[in-house]
Amino acid sequence: MPSDACSQQLSCEALKAPRFPILTFDDSQPDRPLGRGFRIDWLMPGESLVSILWKFACANALPGDALMRLMCPDADPLEGMIPLRSALDLNHLRRLLRLPVNVLRTSLLDRSPGDRYHATFRYCRQCAAHGYHSVLHQLAEEDRCAAHRLELRTRCPQCRRQSPFMINSSVIEAPFRCVWCRSHFCYGLLPVRSTTQAMRRQDRHCLQDRLLLRLGSDASGGSNG
Ligand SMILES: [Zn+2]
Ligand SMILES: [Zn+2]
């Protein structure tokens, strides 16, 4: 098995095992509905679009460039874009990912005045171990994870480089990994397979409370049971 395929498989195994046969994307059937096995309860409150796309690509066995072409047919898949509400068509995303618009709105950054965000990917090591990345991690003045109180990091634990907070084909193919060296952000293989089941209920509530504080009425989406 080629090393890329191998690392993709390991990443996918780290997420909750899908309860359906993984479908291979077929370019000859572009209208075939995707996301039929993608479930909203795989998502956590405030899950970022990057995190959602990692799960969606995994569940539908989609290579990064194929998902980029489906999502933004006019954009260069390698170049991609910053995941801002203004940069993406929410209705198109809703149809592709089959997620409610309010979940997608929360997953994207807003470029309103005073709403500052970090251009480098920031992560909580514990959240990465649970297969979760939050929009909160990208907001200015959020220095610790609301759930785990760990300091948010920007550098890869191996190569020490920073990854840009972008959506492009390289990023999609490196779920919860450094885009440069592919090392995992949680230091090695994921210790858990699921997302919502792995995160404690009180941690999910901490995230939801923080989202409400930071995003107000925009804070919704993901499983919070
Ligand atoms: Zn965390
Ligand atoms: Zn690295």
| Per-residue three-class SS string for 75-124 | CCCCCCECCEHHHCCHHHHHHHHCCCHHHHHHHCECCCCCCCECCECCEC
Interval between CA 201 and ligand 2 midpoint (Å): 31
Cα-Cα-Cα-Cα torsion 200, 104, 191, 59, nearest 10 degrees, comes to 130
Which pLDDT does position 196 carry in this prediction?
56
Query: Collapsing DSSP states into helix, strand and coil, what is residue 165?
Result: coil
Per-residue model confidence as pLDDT tens digits over 78-89 = 999 999 998 999
Q: Residue 80: its pLDDT value, please?
A: 94
C-alpha 127 – ligand 1 centre gap (Å): 4
Give tens-digit pLDDT for 22-51. 444 444 444 555 655 678 888 889 999 999
Structural tokens at position 68: 């980029």
pLDDT digits (tens), the chain, 225 positions = 444 444 444 445 445 444 444 444 444 444 555 655 678 888 889 999 999 999 899 888 899 999 999 999 989 999 999 999 989 999 999 999 999 999 999 999 887 655 688 999 999 998 998 889 999 999 988 999 999 999 999 999 999 999 999 999 999 999 999 999 999 998 655 544 445 567 888 999 999 999 999 887 666 655 544
Instruction: Give the gyration radius of the chain's Cα atoms.
Output: 16
180 CA distance to ligand 1 middle (Å): 23
Q: Which ligand sits closest to the CA of 128?
A: 1
Distance 181 CA to ligand 2 centre (A): 4
> What is the model's pLDDT at position 63?
94
Per-position DSSP letters for 3-54, written without gaps between them = HHHHHHHHHHHHSPPPSSPPPPP-TT-TTSPP-TT--GGG--TTB-HHHHHH
- Distance, in Å, from the CA atom of 199 to the CA atom of 188, rounded to the nearest integer, reads 19
Res 61: pLDDT: 86
Contact 206, 45 (CB under 8 A): no
Distance CA 43, CA 90 (A): 18
154-169 residues labelled b (16+ CB within 10 A) or e (exposed): bebeeeeebbebbbbb
Cα distance between residue 48 and residue 51, in whole Å: 5
Q: How far is the CA of 130 from the centre of ligand 1 (A)?
A: 9
- CA 114/CA 32 separation, integer angstroms: 41
pLDDT at 131: 87
pLDDT digits (tens, 9 = 90+) for 189-211: 554 444 556 788 899 999 999 99
- pLDDT for the residue numbered 223: 54
Ligand nearest to the CA of 127: 1
Q: What is the DSSP letter of 136?
A: G
Q: Give how far Cα 201 sits from Cα of 38, 44, 172, 206, 224, Å.
A: 22, 11, 28, 9, 8
